[in-house]
Amino acid sequence: MGIVAGLDSSPDFTRIVVCDSDTGAVLRQGYAPHPLESPEGGGRPADVDPQAWLLSLGEAAGGGLLEGVQAIGVSAQANAVVPLDAQGNTVRPALVGGDKRSQVAAADLIDALGGREAWAQAVGSVPQTAQPVTKLRWLARSEPEAAARTAVLLQAHDWLVWQLLGRPVRRTTDRGGASGTGYWSAATGAYRPDLVELALGHQVVLPEVIGPAEAAGTTPEGLLISAGTGETQAAAFGLGIGLGDAVVSLGASGSVMAVHTEPLVDQSGMITALADATGMHLPVVTTLNAVRTLRGTAELLGVPDLESLSELAMKSTPGSHGLVLLPYLEGERTPNLPHTAGTLAGLRRESMRPEHLARAAFEGMLCGLADALDVLRLRGVDVRRVFLLGAAAELPAVQAAAPALFGTQVVVPQPADYAAMGAARQAAWALGVSRGALDPRTPPAWQGAVAQVLEPGEELAVGQAVRQQFVSVREQTHPGAL
């Protein structure tokens, strides 16, 4: 069919991949950081002038990168909300996902609707600091004049798509992006305008939610722009995950998501019921402590980096000579223990060695993520293999322990721009559907990620014993937390 491009606007940079629309092979790539300061200067770190996203997009696309491209897909950082006035101008800089100012607003909103269960039933998630709905409550309380002028709400990828199309009257989004807002339900496929009013104080115009294979429009030059989606959904689409697959992301905090056939309503609020970029569902469970556990342990042991910590941990054995670390260093979300601290159990004279503590840190981190996996499994989500993402996934200590602790095959994909590739795949799908060459229910079959595959093998029984040791300590320390 030709060539397509995927554009990923992350919190720090724009990355573009140009791909063969039939196979997904990457033909060209572009990259540019966002300007350090917004074009109008200043602003708090949590405030970002969205024009910065356009500037880095233009730079990344320089040198004729998009020459011959027939369709573009856009993915962008999750939870960044752009408030517009009635004329389509930004009321204030965008409020981005990492903004922590809305913590009080999240608690206010939970109470205002009648508790966590009420929110889970309404939109499949309980308000969190990152979500747009809590930013709206913060805006109404902290900047009432800006809140009063807000007439339209777009997320980052919606705004970029709208700009690429020349700011048309019609504004669109996709199910994936909408499902993270806190005012759209993946279960009903509809907005809850009453929740926007609860947060912001008045009604606003919300973008039309279009299907995964629909085009948002065509540029004056005839370039098709697909629906776009959030970075999480785009990365899952770029990886090519399907039913039976879960993705475990190792950042400072951790997340576990899996493809599922239906939305999950979780009264505890541990599951966020996102929609994916294909028409399926993407339940997500997060932990507050992943790689930060390893970094903290490295600092405690005086080890210079995570590679050295991994090397040290490999000198120990599974079970860390009885040491068990509950890695709740920042409190924890799964289980819901926001005010707790970490616990080191099983100290004996023979276990008080650096290599055993190093191993306990890796096992504690992975067991915490296995707890998150179990939250999904216990709700009927099928997990037959786990994709492990993040720089820490390359560490030997992670690869040695993960398959047996997760109890399943572990796939470690080679580092690549999966969000940008997912956006490109969406563009190829919309292009194919527009030409009658592809089914709107079946995305293009692109070649899968190049990956290392790890099996639990003979270590499975040992790994499950280590996992049980972790669960026992968790239950003794925090009875009934999960």
pLDDT tens-place values along the chain, 482 residues long: 689 999 999 999 999 999 999 999 999 999 999 987 544 444 445 689 999 999 999 999 999 999 999 999 999 999 999 999 999 999 999 999 878 899 899 999 999 999 999 999 999 999 988 899 999 999 999 999 999 999 999 999 999 999 999 999 999 999 999 999 999 999 999 999 999 999 999 999 999 999 999 999 999 899 999 999 999 999 999 999 999 999 999 999 999 999 999 999 888 888 999 999 999 999 999 999 999 999 999 999 999 999 999 999 999 999 999 999 999 999 999 999 989 999 999 999 999 999 999 999 999 999 999 999 999 999 999 999 999 999 999 999 999 999 999 999 999 999 999 999 999 999 999 999 999 999 999 999 998 888 999 999 999 999 999 999 999 999 999 999 99
pTM listed for this prediction: 0.92
Q: What's the helix, strand, coil split of the chain in %, to 5?
A: 35, 25, 40
C-alpha closest to that of 361 among 286, 415, 285, 308 = 308
Q: Are 215 and 434 contacting, i.e. CB atoms less than 8 angstroms apart?
A: yes
Q: Are strands 224-226 and 69-76 parallel, antiparallel or unpaired?
A: parallel
C-alpha closest to that of 167 among 219, 205, 240 = 219
CB atoms within 10 A of CB 15: 21
- Helix orientation angle between 396-406 and 306-313, rounded to the nearest 10 degrees: 60
Expressed in angstroms, the distance from the first to the final Cα of the chain is 50
Radius of gyration, CA atoms only, the chain: 23
C-alpha closest to that of 260 among 240, 245, 277, 238 = 245
- Rounded CA-CA distance 128/10 in Å is 20
C-alpha closest to that of 389 among 236, 164, 160 = 236
